[in-house]
Each structure stands twice: as structure tokens, then as C-alpha cells.
Amino acid sequence: MAARERAAVSTSVLLDAYILPDDHRIFKFFPGKAYKFYEQVRTHEVAFIDVRGLSDLKGKPSDWSDEDLLTAIAMDRVNRMVAGGAQRPSRLVRSIRDKANRTFLKGLLFEAEKGDFVVMPTKDMSDEIQVGELLDEPGDLRKIEAVDDGVRRTYFGRRVKWLNPIPKRLVSIELVRLLQTPATFFQLKSSFKDAIYKFALDNYVLDGHFVSTFRTKKSIFTSKDNLLTSLWFELIEVVEEAREEGNALALKSIYQLAVDSDIDEDERNDLSIYVQSPGWFKLRSVLASPFVAMALFALASSGISFDDAQAATVTAHVVQAADSTCLGEVDQAVREYLQILGKERWEEACGLATKAASVATLKTKATLKIKKKSGKNKT
């Protein structure tokens, strides 16, 4: 028999989600005296400390000793004093402040790990706090030119990917005051982590809890928008209940399943809703269902066929040595959800997700990567 080419696709769902390790660290970073480097740090996406003269040190950054750094910091301090009219001292004395500045400098350049977060304040209490992820390994530095006192100077820093900014009004006054202290770089205590993750990240896993966010940009969120959105989230609840209890779905229509659901409040995902413009819906659970909701919405709103959806894989951003086995849970749960729904209900779910995306402008940070692959099918 002749063989003919058969087209097939490989689908990956890329979740813009963070899998965080339990020992993940967050550092306070201060952008120079009187916040003078704030705009440059934010726009150039490089966090650096106001120490001049590092480019004069010999060798690579990995060759710099503690003494080299301390000498550069002390020389910088003296040079600034002389520029201000003071007499140059006969010998270079390393002060206690110089040693403190060396600790800050080493912390940012050589000790904070790739994937750690930095939090940068602004001067105005009404402004937002910037939160960023360090992108490179310790010691992998970037040169950056920045203007200070009208002179363009060279500094060394670490690349940063900025995440969602946090309005200061949403965090505790204790954290705001701590961020506004002039100390340049230090680790924040663990009690501040939850508030920072909650607002800086839309989707993440930490301490066994999955969190996902769906957003809408509608200026007026109508009852129909609410209906479409609620139906999607209720469908996720219904299928998760059937999966947990090992039951088949009793009704053919996903809409009837959602309307007739009778799930105890204690068994549901924790759902937070804010529908002002722009609005959001945040799911939280010890189960993988918040991430499953993201993956299925991306597949359904793109009209991915039942067979291709079943073969899809799910990936996310694993930070440092975080336990990535939770992604295997998401992969398995996606397939089990689809098996429970079946082909006809899945096609109906695709219609619902497409309407929710187009009419209610519902979206989540998940993208599809589709590759065509060839195979041979005997005829």
C-alpha cells in the first residue's frame, strides 16, 4: 500500500507563571540618594549602586577582592569630598560606612541569586513600588552609563525584568517605610513576601498553593460579560469535582452543568473578583485547578481540537531550584479534565471561551506554541 504524508501538530501551553522555591528571597534596592537613578534603573532595566570607579579595577568582576571593592568605595567617597571643596587627606582611611556600602554592593553584584526579586521604591507616597526579577547569575554584570551631576559615568549592575508594579496603598505602611530607608540593598523578611507576590505576580506556585489571574479590559462590565466569565469558572469547578470524586458528568451541556452545580463552598477554589476597569479574577487553590483553568482557556479560546488539546504540554517559569513536579500535575489534570468533558462538551467549551475572550475581553497570561510535524499514515 502507498504511504501518504499526514499533517499533525504539537501544542505547548506556555504559562506566564512562576514556580517559586520555598527559600526564595526578596531584596530591597534603593536607586541612589534622593532617588536620583530611579528612572535610569527602571528604563534601562539594570539595577546598580552609586559607586564610581569600579571600571578602573583590574581584571574581571570575578577577580575583584573584598579589599579591591573597599578601596574603590573609599576612593569614591574621598573624590566626592574633594570635588565639594574639602582637602584631600594624606592617607586613605576605610570608614565604617565604606564597609557598609561594600556589603550592599557585594549583595547586589555577587550574592543575590538569579531569580531573586528586588523591590525599588519611589519618593512619592502615591506612586508605585517596582518589583523585578534578577535575570543573570551572581557576578554576571552589565556596564551601564548614567548621568550624575551632569556627568555621564560608568557603573556596574545586574539585569532586571520588571514585573507588575504595586501601588503603595496596597501594602503595609511598615513595608513602605522600610523601603524608603536609605540603606541601599538588603533582604526583606519573609512576612512581606505574600503581599509582594500577590500583587507583583499574576500567576505563581508557592508553598503548595496555585494562584492564577484572569483579566478584563472592559470599561463597562455588563451582566453578559459576568455570565460568560462565571460560566467558565463554574465549568472548571464542576469538572474538578467530577475528577476528585471519580464521577462522570451527568449532563451533556456545559451550560446546564454550570447552572445545576451543587458544590460546597469549602470545596471550591478561592475566587477573588475586582470588576472595575480594568478588572481581574484571581483563583487560589491547593489543587492545580488555577493553572488548569489558564491552560484550558488558552486552548479553548484558540479553538484547539480535542485530540490536539489532549496531547498538549504545559510549561511555566521555574525559579532556581523550585520543585517543578507541580507542572506534571497540571499536565495530567489538563488531560483528565478533557477526558471527563469529552469531545462534544470540549467543542462547546471552545465556543464559551471564545465568547468570553471576545465579548468580555477575558484573558490570562498563557500563550500557545504550535509546531507542525509530519508523519506517515498507511492507506
Compute the distance between CA of residue 12 and CA of residue 308 in angstroms, rounded to an integer.
10
* CA neighbor of 337 nearest in space, from 272, 373, 290: 290
117-174 per-position pLDDT tens digit: 999 998 776 689 999 999 999 999 999 999 888 889 999 999 999 999 999 989 999 9
Reading the block at residue 172, the C-alpha cell is 503595609
For residue 2, pLDDT beyond 90: no
Reading the block at residue 165, the C-alpha cell is 508594579
pLDDT score at 376: 46
| Portion of the chain with pLDDT greater than 70, in percent | 95
pLDDT score at 125: 61
What is the pTM assigned to this prediction?
A: 0.88
pLDDT score at 378: 37
The whole-number average pLDDT for the span 258-283 is 87
174-185 per-position pLDDT tens digit: 999 999 888 999
Cα angle for residues 288, 292, 293 (degrees, 5° grid) = 120
The whole-number average pLDDT for the span 202-226 is 93
Q: What is the dihedral of CA 38, 40, 42, 48, to 10 degrees?
A: -80
pLDDT score at 301: 97
- The interaxial angle of helices 289-301 and 325-358, nearest 10 deg, is 50
Compute the distance between CA of residue 265 and CA of residue 253 in angstroms, rounded to an integer.
23
pLDDT score at 108: 98
For residue 6, pLDDT beyond 60: no
For residue 242, pLDDT beyond 90: yes
For residue 76, pLDDT beyond 80: yes
pLDDT score at 8: 67
pLDDT score at 126: 66
pLDDT score at 371: 86
For residue 276, pLDDT beyond 80: no
Q: Is 126 or 23 the better-scoring residue by pLDDT?
A: 23
Q: Where are the domains of the chain?
A: 6-18+207-378, 25-202
Mean pLDDT of the chain: 92
* CA 51 vs CA 48, 88, 123, 331, 337: distances in Å: 9, 19, 21, 48, 55
pLDDT interval class at 14 (50, 70, 90): very high
| Portion of the chain with pLDDT greater than 90, in percent | 81
Ramachandran area for residue 274 (φ above 0: left; ψ -120 to 50: alpha; else beta): beta
Residue 317 CB-density burial (10 A; 0-12 exposed, 13-18 middle, 19+ buried): middle
* CA 224 vs CA 121, 186, 231, 346, 356: distances in Å: 40, 48, 10, 21, 9
Asked if 56 and 239 count as a contact pair (C-beta separation under 8 A), the reply is no
Write the single-letter amino acid at 106.
Answer: K
Compute the distance between CA of residue 118 and CA of residue 131 in angstroms, rounded to an integer.
6
Cα angle for residues 229, 235, 240 (degrees, 5° grid) = 135
Asked if 291 and 15 count as a contact pair (C-beta separation under 8 A), the reply is yes
Compute the distance between CA of residue 124 and CA of residue 168 in angstroms, rounded to an integer.
9
Q: Note the residue count of the chain.
A: 379
> 30-40 b/e with 16+ CB inside 10 Å = b?
bbbeebebbeb
For residue 373, pLDDT beyond 80: no
